[in-house]
Structure formats: C-alpha cells, structure tokens
Structure 1
Amino acid sequence: MDEFDVVVLGGGPTGENLAERAHAGGLTVALVEAELVGGECSYWACMPSKALLRPGAARADAERVAGAREAVTGALDAAAVLRRRDSFASDWKDDGQVDWLNGAGITLVRGHGRLDGERRVVVDTPDGGHRVLTARHAVAVCTGTRAALPELPGLAEVRPWTSREATSSSTVPERLAVVGGGVVAVEMATAWRALGSEVTMLVRGQRLLPKIEPFAGELVADSLRESGVDVRFGASVTEVRRDGPVTLTLDGGETLTADEVLFATGRVPATADLGVESVGLDAGKPIEVDDTGMAVGVQGGWLYAAGDVTGRALLTHQGKYQGRIFGTVIADRAAGRELDLAPWGRSVATADERAVPQVVFTDPEVAAVGLSLEQAERQGRRVRAVDYDLGGVAGASLFADGYRGRARAVVDLDREILLGVTFVGAGVAELLHSATIAVVGEVPIARLWHAVPSYPTISEIWLRLLETFRG
C-alpha cells in the first residue's frame, strides 16, 4: 500500500496539468496511466490529426494565390505526410512525457486504476499484480472519454475506424465512408480526401457542426463538396458488413461500399470500469463537478474530476485549464488557504460556461468562442448578431484570391459586451485568442474601438464588426 497526498487517474494533458499544479502547491502526487502518458490528444487526436490536416491546408493556401498556384504540381506525398504525422505522435512512445513527469517530481504508476471506496485506488499493474494507493487529501479522475459506437448489426465484425484508427492509419484507404457530421467527421473527411481517398460523408441530421453557428457548417459543406467529398444529409446507416470491403446499408435500402468506415458518432465518458459505483456514482456517466472540480454527490470532499470525463467542455485545452485550476484548489484546500470563488476567480473554472474556444481545422477553418446567437437567445439574453463578409477585409483579399469567409459577433445589448465570436475562413484560427480575450475580459465595445488592428491584416475584421454594430 502506497500513500500520497493526491492520486490522479489518467495521464493525459488534463491529468498532467492537475498533477503538476497540485505538486507545485506542496503535495505529493501519484499519476496512474494504463496506456501512454500524454493521453488521447498526444497520440490519437489533436497532434496526429492536425499533422494530417496541415499539408492539405498548406497546399490549398498556395493554390489560392496567383504565382504560387502555378508552382503547385502533383498530389501530396502521402508517405511523407504519414511519416511527419508519426513524428508528431512521437511514434506512439511516451518516453518524453515520462521524463517530464520525473522532472516534475510526480510518481508514475503504470496500470489500470479504479476507485475502491473513499480515498483508495487499486491499480492492476502490467505484470498481473495489484497495487493499492491511498490519498490523504484527494483522488482526481481525469480519464477522458472513449469513442461511442452505435448498436448496428454486423458492426463488431466490420472492425470500424474510430478517431484512433482515423488518426493513426499507416495506409490511405481508396474509399472511406465517414458516419457523422461533427468535428472529427469533418476534419478526417478533409484530411483523407486531401491524401487521395474517395470520401463519402453520411450525416444523419441536416447540417454539419451543429453546435456552432449554422453558417460555419454550410461553408464547410460547400468546401468539402468542391474538394470531391460526397456529403449526404439525412442519411442513416442501418446495417454494415465486411467481405473484404465494407458494405453499408442505408435506411432507404441503398448500399454503399468502402474500404474503411469511420464512425465519428460522439464520445462517452470513460467511467464504465473505474469503480465509481464504490463511491455512489453511476458507471458510464459523466462525473458531475462544481466549479472547483469537486465531485457532486460524494461525501467528504475528497473526489475531484477534470476534463472530458466531467462532460463540461470536451476539448483538450479546456481540460488543461480545469486541471490547472482544480489542482491548485486541491493544494489550497489541503493547506487551508482561502479560495477565490468569485466568477473568474483563480479557484473556479468560469470559462467552461462563458468562454470556451474551439477551432475546427477544416478548409475553411472554423474558430469560435463563447455563445452562439441561438445559445444566447435560449438563455433569454437581449442580443444582436453582427455579421460581416471576411472576404471584404483587405488582409483577407491579400491572403487568398477570392477569399471566402464570414464573421459573427454576438453582442449583449444591455451591457454592450461580446458574448461570443465566430470566424470562418482560411487562417482564422490565429484570430481566435483576441476574441477569447474580449469575451473573457468582458471588454466594452466602446473600449474595443481603441484596439486598432494593423493594416492590412485579416484582424481588421474587428474594426468592420464594430462599424457594422454602430451603423
């Protein structure tokens, strides 16, 4: 039996950040990880997916500029792209991450950990043994999510791709079917189409990226179709089978054949085999936490959770944000230090509700923070959406010939501050942090007039949005 001040379950970015902040606050920390330290983002999501997407985006940018366009010949070198992807996934080895943990003074425990009552974790170690860890102050669950697969006849035998296979495949499928219309679906359709796959998207609903402003999904759908992707809305899969290729049967009886099929149909919290029942929680459900990260419904104030497993904001950077705050909270409570619980205080994750930033790395890129118009209206706020054609900004026309894009700011009319901002267009990801600062800082529009954008850059969109609002 080993005793630590804090035991962290899950060694992804969220768990690493929480462990580091708890240790920086003076506590001893053990981090339990069953797979690779660095987690989903490092090996099967953020890093490899963006490495797959970047070459296609670079080529597309060049093709939109006269002079550079004529220099672009031939297809992407798929083998070179996959080699570069592998390097960004550290060839699926976690030596560097382990070195960081050791340097930070955090104890790594390899194996599958599960809760076993109050402040107690049992780890099934790789050698077939068991190790019992107890926590003096807190156990923090940072185990993330896993891909959700529908219950379909024949699915298990088909060996479908999830996001893991889609980001780590060593070969380019000739034909790829993508089931879903969210972020993973559109990004992987973009990446594999650029690498030469014939891609068909089967979207059960009527729009892509349904949680973002509607025009974002419309522009992305248009671009996917122009690239050669067959985007089908209102398409539901009723059965799949594999006999060499994969055959998908749709709800109208039509069949589709592909070499691989990616089911990008959502995520579920990784709590099914975590022993949460031993502390009165439901297996397979998110762990609800308050704004300090403490689990709701667990007596004693010792159980915390952070990241995707909480269901608050399923994004790596948001999980890291929670990890930093909640790790500090654990250390402060252990030391008897006073917490700062006011909105935007150092002890609460206020941004989870008011200012979550997200980039979708399609072509065009989608970058959004805060509330959409629909979300703001649903909350009963008095708001106005201010829209502008990004292609009308001088910097955008220099960036690409025939630049297409759109921007929207959602303005709180009572306070004249921004509640949300969305950009769609090539290169807009780097605009997002300015919008995030404006939303988090609740910067009055009157003050934003004095934030002068450099000319001629795409950031001049800020001036155009303010001018449109003032009329």
Structure 2
Amino acid sequence: MQNVSLVYDVVVIGAGPVGENVADRAHTTGLSTVIVEGELVGGECSYWACEPSKALLRPVVARADARRVPGLRQAVQGPLDVAAVLAHRDAMSGHWQDEDQVEWLKQEDVNLIRGHGRLDGPKQVTVQTHDGERIRLSARHAVALCTGTSAVLPDLQGLAEVRPWTSREATSAHEVPGRLAVVGGGVVAIEMATAWQALGSRVTLLVREDGLLHRMEPFAGEMVAQSLREAGVDVRFETKVTSVARAGGELRIELADGGELTSDEILFAIGRAPRTSDVGLETVGLTPGDWLTVDDTCQVTAVDGGWLYAVGDVNHRALLTHQGKYQARIAGAVIGARAKGEPLDDSWWGAHVATADSVAVPQVVFTDPEVASVGLTTREAERTRRRVDVVDYDIGQVAGAVQFAEDYRGKARVLIDTDRGTVAGATFVGPGVGELLHSATIAVVGEVPIDRLWHAVPAFPTISEVWLRLLETYRT
C-alpha cells in the first residue's frame, strides 16, 4: 500500500451539491481546494433524490394538469408511457455516471480524490482510495464535512433479508412493482406514492401519524391525502408496521392492529440520519453518528480552533438541497475571508444565514396538488408565541386559476405578523403553486410591509392574483 501526503488550504469531504459549492467558493477566494468523494460526484440529489424523483413526477403532474383543461382532457386519458418516463429519469440522472460533474470540477480547478475520507485529528484527513492507496491530507485553514444524510430504516427483525426500498431504490428502480407499500407520511413518501401509483403500481400508504406532512399546515396534508385517494392510493393513518417477511417473492407485512398486507416491494421513508458514523469524529472529540451543531457560518461549535465546518444536511439546520447550497456559498466565502484575516460583517454573514435557515425556508412538495410553503406555520407561531393574523383564500376563486384548470382546487394561507405588519409565513396548495413560492419568500425575507405589498400588482389573469385577494381579505 502506497502512502501519500498532500497539503491544501481547504479539504472538503463529500462531493454532493453542497461540497461542490463549498470547494468552488473557497477556491474563488484564492485558496487551494481538494474534495474527497467515495461515491458519485454530484451526490444524492443528482442520482437518487431531487433530479430523478422530479423526472418521475413531472409527467404525472403534467398529465393531471392537462386532464383539467377543456379541449385537452380527452387527449390525455391513456396511461403514461412507462418506458419513456424511466428513460427520461435515467437521462436526468446521467445514467448514474458522473463524468460531467468531474469535468466541472476540473474546469473550476478543484482537485478530486476518490475514496473514503475520515478526519484524523485537527486539520487532518485520511483517504482510503478505491485502488488501495492511503492519502493523508493536511488543511492549512479548514476542513468541511459535507457528507449529507442516509435513509433511516426501522429496527425490524429480518428486514435486511427483505431487501426493502429506501429513497435510493424508489428513484432508481427499473421496473414498476405490481404492488408497493410505502411507509411514511412525509415528502419522500407521498411523492413516491404519487409517482409509482401513476406508473401502474397499486400503492398502499402506511402512515404512523394521523395525517400527512405534519410539519406543514394541516390543510396541506388533508388536500394531498384526498387527491392520493382519488388517484387510487390506499391511504391508512395511525398504522404501524410490526414485521415484514418475504416468502416466494411476495412480502407479508404485519400491522400493529393485527392486520396483514401483501405487497411486492416496500419503501421505508421514515426519516434521515447524518452520515457521520464513519468520518472520524472521535479523533476530534465528537461522537460518531451525531448531527453536527454549527454557528451561523457553519463552523462546528464543539471543536476548538475554528477549522472544522459542517455544511448542508449534516448540520440538521434545513434538510433541503437549495438550503445546503445556500449554506455552502456562505461557508466557502467565510473560509476564504477568515484565511485572509478579513473581518466579517456580522449584520450580513450571521443574520442572513440564520434567516434563511430558520424563519424563511422555502419548500415545494411535487405532488398533485403541489404544496409550497415558506416561513412560519400556525402551529409554529403558537409554539413561539408570535402574534399573527391568519388569512385564508380559495385559490380557485382567482381568475388565473380558472384559466389554469377547470374546477381548480387550491388554498392559500398567509400569516401576518401583527406587531411588524409583515408576512411571517405562507402556504399554498394547488396545481402550479410552486411558482408562487419565490414571491412569498421575498416577502418574508425582505420583511416587506403589508402597505407596500399593495403596490406589487399581480398580472391578470395569473394565479399570482391570489396575493391581491389575500390582502383584500386581510383588510376587510
């Protein structure tokens, strides 16, 4: 085995979108940067999450939208072309090859080492490469852990022999299972239930809680559940799986209420865990397997010396790709500034990151109907004792919605901070509402006074006119 020692200004472990952005931003400040990756460059989002899942969902949602348009409805009554959908998914995932991403790193002059990277003391990283080489990396200024998360599986005896699906299998499967059991009530569970039901599976959704999307406004989960049932999904609430066994290729699923279910595949979408169990945390006084607590610049607070950063999902601030990339841009720039001894403007670096990761996190759930939300929910406002007025409006009453789809079903809710006179949160449910989200995010982040929002005139006839109707409802 050959041992090699290399020195860089910044060492990044994990070449997903977050790690790529940290490395790129640090390099643009003039620092030498290397990134370590044991799988595919581009990470979970590119190959097993955001991109393949949306490639599966787009034809499902587009067909649903088309079926609501008079004159087009009859032309789209047939089934989806499964082979074409899966081929498009494969193309969007780069056929699980990362040459394009590797080429981008080369163009940005960021070095890549393939292998498993582990911390080995302060500012030290050891890489075991795929060909047996051992490389020791020393960082002059910073090490950034961008290792993301992995799917959580329940502690059920014999589960490994069953070969359950996680989000990876759900987004990369090449055959449609005749019957699919989906365990979970969050975003991954309902998006995959939506996709595979439309592709031909008989889907049963097993939800331990009493509703879907429990972190969002209750009406969002209720409307999605109604739509799933109308599409043919068997949605069961307050249901717990107690055992799973495979016999003759068929899955037998036992439930806590004594019931039994048979299926061909089972997907567990019950949560995420940090990929920190084997990255050498113990060598710097941290506990393997833990989430990593960071400050507003993504610097790990429990490690002295200010050299260790944890960026993206691994710090548990906001488990979304766009938020991780946002953190990465900040962290990379901060690392560069600190390396040069440049002062940080706390009013920008600190407050801006905290705002984006706590009170203004935008999210879209790509189901039918779509769900889009940002900022506080009513439950969060109650929990934090924030005084808000709740304003609801039926999006189907907006002229633009009627143009979008016949019998449009949707709902909008905004929370108005009564002390500041600004929008504190917004939730939209309905076809096409994802395009409303950025305007809501700007309103929340910018703390735009309600009196100024009256002068942001929505074009007619678009769904954005719901903003005007919400303001009118608030004033009456």
What is the TM-score of this pair, normalised by structure 2? 0.98
CA distance in 1, matches of 2:20, 2:349: 23
2:404 equivalent in structure 1: 399
Residue type at the aligned position of 2:279: L
Name structure 2 gaps, 5 residues minimum: none
CA distance in 2, matches of 1:62, 1:411: 35
Pick from 125, 138, 143 the counterpart of residue 134 of structure 1.
Answer: 138
Residue type at the aligned position of 1:191: A
Q: Deviations over 1:61-104 (max 9, x none)?
A: 11111110011232001011000000000000000000000000
Is the aligned partner of 1:440 residue 2:445? yes
Task: Map residues 86-105 of structure 1 onto 2, 5 A cutoff.
Answer: 86-105=90-109
Q: Is the 8 A contact 1:153 1:238 kept in 2?
A: no
2:257 equivalent in structure 1: 252
Residue 346 (structure 1) shift:
8.2
Residue 343 (structure 1) shift:
5.5
Task: Map residues 294-313 of structure 1 onto 2, 5 A cutoff.
Answer: 294-313=299-318
Task: Map residues 403-422 of structure 1 onto 2, 5 A cutoff.
Answer: 403-422=408-427
1:160 equivalent in structure 2: 164
CA distance in 1, matches of 2:431, 2:468: 19
Q: Deviations over 1:101-152 (max 9, x none)?
A: 0000100010010001000000010012211101000000000000000101
Q: Is the 8 A contact 2:67 2:77 kept in 1?
A: no
Measured on the aligned residues, the alpha-carbon RMSD in Å equals 1.0
2:118 equivalent in structure 1: 114
Pick from 279, 295, 304 the counterpart of residue 284 of structure 2.
Answer: 279
Is the aligned partner of 1:242 residue 2:262? no
Q: Deviations over 1:322-380 (max 9, x none)?
A: 00001100000001111121267687443101100000000000000111111122111
Q: Structure 1 residues 417, 346: closer, same or farther in 2, change over 3 A?
A: closer
CA distance in 2, matches of 1:46, 1:102: 24
Is the aligned partner of 1:43 residue 2:47? yes
Which runs of structure 1 show a deviation greater than 3 angstroms over 4 or more consecutive aligned residues?
343-349
Q: Structure 1 residues 285, 373: closer, same or farther in 2, change over 3 A?
A: same
Q: Equivalent residue of 2:252, what SS?
A: strand
Q: Structure 1 residues 221, 347: closer, same or farther in 2, change over 3 A?
A: closer
Q: Which stretch shows the higher mean deviation, 333-342 or 354-363?
A: 333-342
Residue type at the aligned position of 2:387: R
1:10 equivalent in structure 2: 14
Residue type at the aligned position of 1:406: K
Q: Is the 8 A contact 2:7 2:140 kept in 1?
A: yes
Q: Equivalent residue of 1:76, what SS?
A: coil
Pick from 330, 341, 351 the counterpart of residue 335 of structure 2.
Answer: 330
Q: Structure 1 residues 142, 49: closer, same or farther in 2, change over 3 A?
A: same
Q: Is the 8 A contact 1:325 1:349 kept in 2?
A: no
Pick from 426, 437, 454 the counterpart of residue 449 of structure 1.
Answer: 454
1:267 equivalent in structure 2: 272
Q: Is the 8 A contact 1:340 1:347 kept in 2?
A: no
Residue 239 (structure 1) shift:
0.3
Pick from 453, 459, 463 the counterpart of residue 464 of structure 2.
Answer: 459
Q: Which stretch shows the higher mean deviation, 339-348 or 3-12?
A: 339-348
CA distance in 1, matches of 2:397, 2:98: 46
CA distance in 1, matches of 2:77, 2:371: 27
CA distance in 1, matches of 2:22, 2:258: 50
CA distance in 2, matches of 1:345, 1:310: 16
Q: Is the 8 A contact 1:176 1:258 kept in 2?
A: yes
CA distance in 2, matches of 1:83, 1:214: 36
CA distance in 2, matches of 1:443, 1:326: 27
Residue type at the aligned position of 1:307: G
Residue type at the aligned position of 1:257: T
1:212 equivalent in structure 2: 216
Residue type at the aligned position of 2:244: V
Residue type at the aligned position of 1:152: L
CA distance in 1, matches of 2:24, 2:217: 36
Q: Equivalent residue of 1:342, what SS?
A: helix
2:58 equivalent in structure 1: 54
CA distance in 2, matches of 1:297, 1:155: 36
Q: Structure 1 residues 346, 212: closer, same or farther in 2, change over 3 A?
A: closer
CA distance in 2, matches of 1:8, 1:341: 25
Q: Is the 8 A contact 2:355 2:445 kept in 1?
A: no
2:200 equivalent in structure 1: 196
Q: Which stretch shows the higher mean deviation, 118-127 or 65-74?
A: 65-74
Q: Equivalent residue of 2:346, what SS?
A: coil
2:229 equivalent in structure 1: 225
Q: Is the 8 A contact 1:292 1:347 kept in 2?
A: no
What is the TM-score of this pair, normalised by structure 1? 0.99
CA distance in 2, matches of 1:345, 1:211: 26
Q: Deviations over 1:199-241 (max 9, x none)?
A: 0000001010011111000000000000000000011000000
CA distance in 2, matches of 1:349, 1:323: 13
Q: Structure 1 residues 353, 190: closer, same or farther in 2, change over 3 A?
A: same
Q: Structure 1 residues 347, 61: closer, same or farther in 2, change over 3 A?
A: closer
2:377 equivalent in structure 1: 372
Q: Deviations over 1:268-287 (max 9, x none)?
A: 00000111011111111111
Q: Is the 8 A contact 2:150 2:275 kept in 1?
A: yes
